Each structure stands twice: as structure tokens, then as C-alpha cells.
Amino acid sequence: MSFERNFLLAAVALAALTPLVAHNEYSLHIGIMIMFSVMLATSFNLIVGYVGEFPLGHTAFFGIGAYSAALFAVRLGTPIYFTVPLAGIVAAISGLAIGAITLRLRGPFFVIVTLCFAEVLRLVANNWIDLTNGPMGLSGIAKPALIVGATGVEQKLWFYYAGLALAAASLVVCYRFVYSNIGRAAVAVRENRFVAQSIGIWPFWLGLVTFVLAAAISGLAGGFYAHYISYVGPEVFGFSFTITMIIMVLAGGKGTLAGPVVGAVIVVFLEEYLRDFKELRFSIFGLIVIAVVIFVPRGLMGFVGRRHETYQRKTAGHEGDKENKQERLQPTLEPAGFNQRGAADA
């Protein structure tokens, strides 16, 4: 817990200081993409790591956020300071509706039903031309009035710090959420649904609360994205955004707050470096996903965390009192998602 908090604080501090060194448009653009990816990965991780279900259509909320920010900005001329929070709110409301339907299902059925929702939304965005402008998408989403006429670097700098503020705020909310009673109850449900129910936890309600929070964060990311790219098309509902989220959370380690942050940084840099391989990069990407599932199933932070635990127990063991030895015999809590389909998950 304290390790995670210190890690996140250090990461935010480092991110706040980075523009002093990397003061050019390209590095700032990568920085902005990292901020945006951190938000998406954190949101996805809330459901994968803390509800224990796998929302393959999570990009639905990102898309809803992006479209609602774009619509408010283009059709009504609402400034960015209102559209981005509104995007979060709209996404949270749709999260409530979609979550109430999908969370009744579990396992592969949840996976496929969420995917169905994302696909339906993509088709609606493609076909409801009066509202969404169809496949053409909505373009010309206004940048904030403050930076109109500023140089490219200054504009990027503004978006970088706005993104950092949003990402940091999302992480703070998630941290408070995960280490609250609700978050602990969610972990209890994830680890053993029936035991959790027997002590009075209502899994559906917990899932729904987490789902709405995750949807809101995705929506914020979507609104931010819409204003930064200044164009939104039906592809925001596409499978590729979900895949990026999955890989970020998977590589970083689900069920930890630091994991998705690390994963987002890795994936954004990896995508930039793999550009040299041109078309081959997607094939390499696929192979990396397979390799991660097989060789580092708990992700990077899961791996580091386990090393950290063994190290702590080793140093404690050297002091040699019996209490610590007894502690060593107790099994450590399995990380997220390793709840095998056994008696606990019938």
C-alpha cells in the first residue's frame, strides 16, 4: 500500500518535471499520449483487477465520452472546461445503464455482451448521420480559448499539464476507492464470491459502483482525446482501443494501481519504437501479447511485487523470532484474476 502510494507520487512528480528536459513538440506529444493511456488503463484495470470480469467492450465508454465532448463543443460551442467533465458524466450514466444489464452475466458471457454493446454503439455512430455525421466523424473540435494563437510547443504543454492533472486526479480517486471499504469488499468478491456474499457483501452492487467509476474515467479520457486530436470518428468504438487497454493493463500487472501506469508508459514507447518495423509491428505486437500471457502472467508490477514480498519475508526471517516463521507458512494472497474456476466460482 505505501509502496504503491510512494510509487505513484514519484511518478506524478517525475511527469510534472519531465517537460523541463523534453521541451519539444514530439516528446510532449508522446507525454500527452501517455497521460491519456494512463487514464484508459486505470479505468480498464478497475474492472479487470477489482471486479474480476473482463470487459472486452470497454472502449464504449471512451467513445461515448469522446462523442459527447465533441457534440457539446461542435454543436453548442461549450468550452473545454465544461465538455470534459460532461463527457465523464455522460459516460458514467451510460455506465450505470450498461453495467446494470451486463453485470448480471459472468465469465465469457460478460465478455461477449460488453463487446456487443461496443459494436452496436459503433454501428450507431456510423449510421446516425444527423447526430454524429456518420463515417465522416466530427472535426474542428475547438482548442481552449486560452491557447489559441500560442505556438505549437505551448499548446502541447497546456495539453500535457491538463492531461497530467486529469490522470493524477483519476489515480487519486482510484486510490481512495481501492483502499476504501468498498474496494476491499470488491477484492473479497473477486477472490471468493460466496464467502463475500456470506458476510453480507452484494457483488452486483459493488460491481456496478466500480463499473460506473471506470466508465467515468474512460469518459474523461475520451473528452480529453476529442479536444486534443480535435476529431472524433466511429473508430473510437473500435476494437483496437480495447486491445491497447488490455495490453497496457496486462503488461503492467492488473489488480495493482501502479501496474497500469507502468504498462501505459511501456506500450506508448513500444508503439513508437516499433514504428521502424512498419507493417510488421502489428505481428510483433501479437507475439508480445502471447509471450506476456505465457511468461509474465502477472505483469511487470505483479512480478516486482512478488519479489518485494519474498525479499521482505527473507529479511524478516533472519531476525529469527517464531512469529515471523509462522507468518512465512501462511500462503500469500494470490494476485488478481487467479481465482480459478473451482468451487469458489461455480
Partner 1 sequence: MDFFLQLLANGLVTGAFYALSALGLTLVFGLMRVVNFAHGELYVIGGLLGWALTAVLGWNYFLALVVVVVALGILGYLIDQVLISRVRRQGEEPTILLTIGLSIFIANTALLIVGTTPVTVASPFASKPLILGPVVITQARLVLVVICAALIAAANLLIQKTTLGRAMRATFQDPMAAQLVGIRTSHIYGFTFALGATLAGAAGMLLGSIYVVEASSGGIISLKAFVVVILGGMGSFAGAIAGGLILGLTEALWGGYVSTGYVDAIGFGLVILTLLVRPYGLFSRRAERA
* Chain positions contacting partner 1, by CB under 8 A: 48, 54, 56, 101, 104-113, 115-117, 119-120, 123-124, 126-127, 239, 243, 246, 250, 279-280, 282-283, 285-290, 292-294, 297, 337-341, 345
Select 121 or 304, whichever has its Cβ closest to partner 1. Answer: 121
Residue in the structure block whose three cell numbers are 519475508: 313
Residue 26, strand partner residues: none
11 versus 60: smaller Cβ distance to partner 1: 60
Q: Of 118, 72, 74, nearest to 95 (Cα)?
A: 118
Q: How far is the CB of 146 from partner 1 (least distance, A)?
A: 40
Asked if 254 and 95 count as a contact pair (C-beta separation under 8 A), the reply is: no
Cα 53 to Cα 47: distance, rounded to the nearest angstrom: 6
In whole angstroms, the minimum distance from the beta carbon of 241 to partner 1 comes to 13
CA–CA separation, 68 vs 306, rounded Å? Answer: 42
Output 28 or 103, the one with its CB closest to partner 1.
103
What backbone phi and psi angles, to 5 degrees, belong to 139?
A: -120, 175
Q: Which residue has the cell 447526430?
A: 131
Question: Which long-range CB contacts under 8 A does 8-12 form with residues at least 24 apart?
Answer: 8/171, 8/175, 8/257, 8/258, 8/261, 11/258, 11/261, 12/164, 12/168, 12/171
Q: Which is nearer to partner 1, 150 or 280 (CB)?
A: 280
Smallest separation, CB 46 to partner 1 (Å): 15
156 sits in which H/E element: helix 152-178
Nearest-approach distance from CB 189 to partner 1, in angstroms: 15
CB of 337 to partner 1, least distance (A): 6
Q: Report residue 179 CA to chain centroid gap.
A: 17
Q: How far is the CB of 257 from partner 1 (least distance, A)?
A: 19
Compute the least distance from the CB of residue 207 to partner 1, in Å.
14
φ, ψ dihedrals at 53, nearest 5°: -110, 170
Return the number of the residue (105 or 316) whose C-beta is nearest partner 1. 105
- As a whole number of Å, the end-to-end CA separation of the chain is 31
Positive or negative, the CA dihedral 11, 12, 17, 23 is positive
H or E element, residue 139: strand 138-139
Query: CB-wise, 175 or 239, nearer to partner 1?
Result: 239
Local structure of residue 143 (DSSP, 8 states)? P
> 4 or 345, CB closer to partner 1?
345
Q: Which is nearer to partner 1, 89 or 124 (CB)?
A: 124
Give dist(CA 249, CA 251) in Å, integer.
Answer: 6
CB of 95 to partner 1, least distance (A): 16
